[in-house]
Amino acid sequence: MSEQVVIYTDGACKGNPGVGGWGAVLVYKGVEKELWGGEAETTNNRMELTAAIRGLQELKRHCDVRLVTDSQYVMQGIQDWMPNWKKRGWKTAAKQPVKNADLWRELDEQVGRHNVTWQWVRGHTGHPGNEHADQLANRGVDEVRGLA
């Protein structure tokens, strides 16, 4: 039987584009691991994707994962848009290149390593895991800005 890991992810951006940060909290058997980072020039969507990617990359073997995000963009992309993007060679329905295709491809690869169930939660409503990931994303922003 494989093990269930819960990953809470969030991205933050001060200005969009601007200084961004991402955070992920991995929970396994009651133990939490915090991950965070940031980039000087990015977008909120890129940080949301990066948080999910980095959380999944941290897992060293195949796991059952419940990935909890407050990003509608990530949820729609992974559940609705990606199958068609892949069929069209990473082009949108309007034949345009998919935005953030580099990160979507990496997320697709990481999801393929695990059995991932996706859960959306509304951001900034006091959900403990989401709030924790949000704090880490903001820590990532502060570190890039030299404030941490």
Rg of the chain over CA atoms, in angstroms?
Answer: 15
Region at 126 (left for phi over 0; alpha for psi -120 to 50; beta for the rest):
left
Beta-sheet pairing, 4-14 with 18-28: antiparallel
48 marked ligand binding residue: yes
Torsion of CA 100, 145, 21, 42, to 10 degrees: -10
Residue 25 corresponds to which tokens in the numbers above? 């909290």
Query: Which residue type, as a one-letter code, is found at position 37?
Result: G
User: Among all residues, which ones are annotated catalytic?
Assistant: 10-11, 48, 70, 124, 134
User: Which letter does DSSP use for residue 16 in this model?
Assistant: T
Annotated binding site: 10, 48, 70, 134
From the annotation, which residues make up the binding site for Mg(2+)? 10, 48, 70, 134
